Amino acid sequence: MKTIIEPFRIKVVEPIRMTTAEERERILHEAGFNLFLVHADDVLIDLLTDSGTGAMSSEQWAGIMRGDESYAGAKSWFVLQERVQEITGFPHVLPTHQGRASERILFELLGGAGKIVPNNNHFDTTRANIEHTGAQAVDLVIEEGRQPTNRHPFKGNMDLGRLENLIKEAGRDRIPVVMMTITNNSGGGQPVSLENLRAVREICDEHKLPFFLDACRFAENAWFIKQREPGQQDRGVREIVRDVFSLADGATISAKKDGLVNIGGLLLLRDEELVRQADELLILTEGFITYGGLAGRDLEAMAQGLEEVVHEDYLQYRIRSTAYLGERLLAAGIQIVEPPGGHAIYVDARAFCPHVPPERFPGQALVIALYRHAGIRAVEIGSVMFGQGSNTPAMELVRLAIPRRVYTQSHIDYVIEAIIEVHQQRDRIRGLEITWEPPSLRHFTARFREA
């Protein structure tokens, strides 16, 4: 059979509502042409993020009912701890309310002025948490990872030469940890190979540096390894996942992605002294070490989600359905970051509307055009998000992130049709100018008008 189907049937449905063109025009003006300020109810297909937007399974909902809400030592905590230990091999598991809470704890312990933290590409919250401590966050992804049309199979890989140079130039004492983000969200949802992870581990060993993963999308990354890396085809995803985690000294995880839950995070550690210090910070702001800012039911749902995410029929469907969107756009002559990533398709907005210069925000202009035409919400990753101050981002992208197990193929067909129609009328897309912006992270709240 050629067709890869959704490996589930639907038991609960949530209606979505189409707005009229006039309504959307009014909504856009009221929201200052910023889709973060639009009510979700006024969005037909919401591709803003894949984070915390997935659908839970019947078993996860059953877990919600089983949740033990005891303050200390809840049964649900031990269910989660055991599942995480089994899947990742990490001895120490700290629950947090989401990924950035794990990052905050880790970098409060390892960061500080004068320190440098390399990564393939830091996600924005990781970078922000590092910089908040006075340390510097450095991106060292391979050159191919910066080229939208390059079809390298592992565009999330670290540039090993640049990593060695950084260690040599900065000195190992200034580098408290080497990070790797799997898959590489800021670089287009691109995977990292096992070979590259092993090589980074070797460099870390040579210089006695700890190696941590930002493992939000560890299962999607493992599926890409199975599909693309020589010698990995016949191995199980679980085995690959164990191999990947075995290379690291720790991991920060937002369970809102491959944990298949709407809220939750993890901090995984091996070093006992670090665990002691992290536990202290966890208790200070998240909660006791057996719930970490989550309800017992959240712990149950996460334990079950982590089990379901490594099922291979799920991963085949997940990665294939993202690729389907990307391939159809490419076939229609719409440039995306190639090859398609795991959780999202990134449209090259500069190629889509070459008549809109970077200072008129081509990505934001395209995001507005998609909402105006079809009620679709996507997110700009370009000059609005990263161009504040003197920064000039390398690419002007629009991310179409796919929530897990939420939309069917006909929803995606609708998205494809809408984007193609907008592309056919792309001359009409108008640039924007900012009428108000906050001092930082302006993409969330800035207001625009059409220029």
The distance of closest approach from Cβ of residue 221 to ligand F0G in the complex, given in angstroms and rounded to an integer, is 11
Q: By CB under 6 A, tell whether 49 contacts ligand F0G.
A: yes
**CA 68 → CA 13, 104, 162, 286, distances in Å?**
27, 27, 48, 18
Among 139, 214, 220, 338, binds ligand F0G (CB under 6 A): 214
The distance of closest approach from Cβ of residue 68 to ligand F0G in the complex, given in angstroms and rounded to an integer, is 23
The 3-state secondary structure of 267-294, one letter per residue = EEECCHHHHHHHHHHHHHHCCCCCCCCC
Cβ neighbors of 17 (< 8 A, separation 6 or more) are 41, 42, 44
Which residue has 């591709």 as its token pair? 47
Cβ neighbors of 411 (< 8 A, separation 6 or more) are 45
Mask 89-108, x = binds ligand F0G (CB under 6 A)?
---------xxx--------
What would the two tokens of residue 399 be? 């991310």
Among 24, 92, 127, 256, binds ligand F0G (CB under 6 A): 256
- Residue 291 contacts residue 251 (beta carbons within 8 Å): no
Chain Cα centroid distance, residue 2? 29
What would the two tokens of residue 335 be? 């440039």
The distance of closest approach from Cβ of residue 332 to ligand F0G in the complex, given in angstroms and rounded to an integer, is 26
Specify the stretch interacting with ligand F0G by CB under 6 A; choose among 33-41, 118-126, 271-279, 288-296: 118-126
Q: Rounded to a whole number, what is the distance in angstroms from the first to the last CA of the chain? A: 50
The distance of closest approach from Cβ of residue 110 to ligand F0G in the complex, given in angstroms and rounded to an integer, is 16
* Residue closer to ligand F0G (CB basis): 111 or 431: 111
Q: By CB under 6 A, tell whether 51 contacts ligand F0G.
A: yes
* Residue closer to ligand F0G (CB basis): 253 or 429: 253
Among 54, 265, 305, 382, binds ligand F0G (CB under 6 A): 265
Among 33, 77, 123, 361, binds ligand F0G (CB under 6 A): 123
- Residue 367 contacts residue 35 (beta carbons within 8 Å): yes
* Residue closer to ligand F0G (CB basis): 68 or 249: 249
- For residues 106 and 267, what is the distance between their CA atoms, to the nearest angstrom? 8
* Residue closer to ligand F0G (CB basis): 157 or 167: 157
Q: By CB under 6 A, tell whether 254 contacts ligand F0G.
A: yes
The distance of closest approach from Cβ of residue 169 to ligand F0G in the complex, given in angstroms and rounded to an integer, is 26
Please give the residues from 182 up to 201 whose contact with ligand F0G meets the rule CB under 6 A: 185
Chain Cα centroid distance, residue 71? 31
Site residues, ligand F0G (CB under 6 A): 49, 51, 98-100, 123, 125-126, 181, 185, 214, 216, 254, 256, 265
